[in-house]
Chains A and B, each alone.
Chain A
């Protein structure tokens, strides 16, 4: 598991607000390996979300290189970055962000439709929901589900196309500890079963406890990179 899915090399990212320039990332280096269950932690303003946006091809670095699966993001245009996100990345957001007018099943199928998958969309989406114990909620709309259920559907949407890398921005922030634990166990299971790589930005100690690797940011730089053994997380908060 030493292959680098992501290489972030000496990256800076500045934001301009009138005359004020905010340096969100200051020469940051990070390599994400295949199979990582990586938690990026740090105080607010340390650059976690900015880093996740760069890795997710949602933003471009001010300087330095960001390589995803060996591809330099700076060389990709807007459409190619969209294609990369669609085909190879999965996103889970803090606020779930399901499409409110579509059912759980339709939310999951929607990604396959965007990808242009012609046949078997229904079966694949349903199978993914069932894998996450969401089969009974397939025809419910987001407003008919709890926060924990919505976040599990969001995970189903992120993984239905079996992306190599899933990026999760504060996925447990709106969940209670019981739902958070269940969600993280489910994601660990997906990582173990399908070999997916997960990168979290988080403040949640529970996520850190489940992570196989914890990277700490401070003022836009990596200040620690701790690799934990796979067996570190065995306990349950239940």
Chain B
């Protein structure tokens, strides 16, 4: 086996100055631990955000009419919503689909009125994609065969001072611009715990919405994928399957502020990770360079024996790899005691948020959990090895530049 002694040479060299080696490994380990914690927390936070968006009824992506992205007009309808629904449901990566149609409505009870965005839903599909419809405080949720009924949020019920089985007077601007009127009986009142969300919920069946507005079909199909970590690629794939008749928009397009928030969080985290890695690299490079300077005479001898530049670089990089492996283990040992409680108990930001944490209709859980998994192990090795290998490059270059005659002339010293 070739290079056996080169590896032994490199690994044993780490034991020559144990204190310096331990400090370097500790430096890499601390940096690695911090990076692991930051990435675990950001990943956990992003996952919670995506789940909250999905479970708030937005899904991971949405098939929408071509003009919707620009106009955000709730009265737009899909070209062929049933074909879109079948295509999406037939894609193996799609877990749930739910068609929606929307319109602006005025609800009245006696002298009280409330303006809402009324949503037409397929009740069975809605129960799969939205946790909001599972938290009824009174009554029941919609069934597909229901007619002339509505489910509203508690905040709307309180504002209109209505109860279960009361009849609401509904005014809608229908197709063609004429005003349409209907009486809808309240069969369920939803209480999500968030007044903001509860003031927006007004659900009827898709068929009811068609009757009320005169617009046929669905205005959007909400998609939930099986793999939330691969939303962008799956969105593109579904879009290709639909041949571009109705575009598929990822949640980042549907709720741009959420996408922007997550993007800026990720960029900020990447900058911090970069800073931590740079500090670790500089620390290790400094220690490595000092070690190389102390071994200048040794490198002169190796060069005199005929060792080539590539072999010297390999020797120093093997030392860096050994240090990186140990640094990764230390990084995991340092990071785990922080990541484990963050992943199991989480951090409760409820007090900091001052009540509901709702933006653009997304109810975000105030308890943020870090993401802990086996992925931390390869990441720890990647971070530590990257740091030590980069840190070893300059010292390696310096070593191969050793002038053997001047270094060996120091023999009398």
Residue from B3, B16, B307 with most neighbouring chain A CB atoms (10 Å) = B307
- The reply to whether A86 and B13 form a contact with Cβ atoms under 8 Å apart is no
Cα(A121)–Cα(B397), bound, Å: 30
Tell me if B270 counts as interface (CB < 8 A to partner A).
Answer: no
Minimum Cβ distance to chain B for residue A188 (Å): 23
Tell me if A94 counts as interface (CB < 8 A to partner B).
Answer: yes
Q: Could you say which residues of chain A place their CB within 8 Å of the CB of B2?
A: 113, 116, 118
Partner of A53 from B12, B309, B405 at Cβ < 8 Å: B405
Tell me if A91 counts as interface (CB < 8 A to partner B).
Answer: yes
- The reply to whether B12 and A91 form a contact with Cβ atoms under 8 Å apart is no
Q: Could you say which residues of chain A place their CB within 8 Å of the CB of B12?
A: 101-102
Tell me if B131 counts as interface (CB < 8 A to partner A).
Answer: no
Tell me if B253 counts as interface (CB < 8 A to partner A).
Answer: no
Residue from B3, B297, B305, B409 with most neighbouring chain A CB atoms (10 Å) = B305
Partner of A94 from B298, B303, B411 at Cβ < 8 Å: B411
Total interface residues in chain A, CB < 8 Å = 35
Tell me if A110 counts as interface (CB < 8 A to partner B).
Answer: yes
Main secondary structure of the interface of B (DSSP, over half): helix
Tell me if A202 counts as interface (CB < 8 A to partner B).
Answer: no
Tell me if A131 counts as interface (CB < 8 A to partner B).
Answer: no
Residue from B12, B13, B15, B306 with most neighbouring chain A CB atoms (10 Å) = B306
Partner of B16 from A97, A101, A116 at Cβ < 8 Å: A101
Q: Could you say which residues of chain A place their CB within 8 Å of the CB of B4?
A: 113
Q: Could you say which residues of chain B place their CB within 8 Å of the CB of A116?
A: 2
Tell me if A7 counts as interface (CB < 8 A to partner B).
Answer: no
Q: A99-B298, A101-B13, A101-B15 are in contact. Are A111 and B8 (CB under 8 A)?
A: no
- Stretch of A30-38, A77-85, A218-226 contacting B (4+ beta carbons < 8 Å): A77-85
Cα(A157)–Cα(B411), bound, Å: 19
Minimum Cβ distance to chain A for residue B377 (Å): 30
- The reply to whether A102 and B9 form a contact with Cβ atoms under 8 Å apart is yes
Near B by CB (< 8 A), chain A positions 107-131 give 109-111, 113-116, 118
Q: Could you say which residues of chain B place their CB within 8 Å of the CB of A100?
A: 16
The contact string, 1 if C-beta is below 8 Å from chain B, for chain A 83-99, is 11111010101110101
Tell me if B404 counts as interface (CB < 8 A to partner A).
Answer: yes
Q: Could you say which residues of chain A place their CB within 8 Å of the CB of B311?
A: 114
Tell me if A106 counts as interface (CB < 8 A to partner B).
Answer: yes
Q: Could you say which residues of chain B place their CB within 8 Å of the CB of A114?
A: 305-307, 311
Tell me if B292 counts as interface (CB < 8 A to partner A).
Answer: no
Cα(A113)–Cα(B315), bound, Å: 13
- The reply to whether B5 and A102 form a contact with Cβ atoms under 8 Å apart is yes
Tell me if A47 counts as interface (CB < 8 A to partner B).
Answer: no
Cα(A118)–Cα(B309), bound, Å: 21
Q: Could you say which residues of chain A place their CB within 8 Å of the CB of B13?
A: 101
Tell me if A42 counts as interface (CB < 8 A to partner B).
Answer: no
The contact string, 1 if C-beta is below 8 Å from chain A, for chain B 376-392, is 00000000000000000
Cα(A17)–Cα(B297), bound, Å: 21
Q: Could you say which residues of chain B place their CB within 8 Å of the CB of A79?
A: 308-309
State the B residues within 8 Å of A (CB).
2-6, 8-9, 12-13, 15-16, 297-298, 301, 303-309, 311, 404-405, 408-409, 411
11 contacts between A and B (CB under 8 A): A82-B303, A82-B307, A85-B305, A87-B306, A89-B306, A93-B408, A97-B301, A101-B16, A106-B5, A113-B4, A113-B5
State the A residues within 8 Å of B (CB).
49, 53, 56, 58-59, 78-79, 82-87, 89, 91, 93-95, 97, 99-102, 106, 109-111, 113-116, 118, 157, 169-170
Q: A102-B12, A114-B306 are in contact. List 4 more A-B contacts (CB 8 A).
A: A86-B306, A97-B298, A106-B8, A110-B9
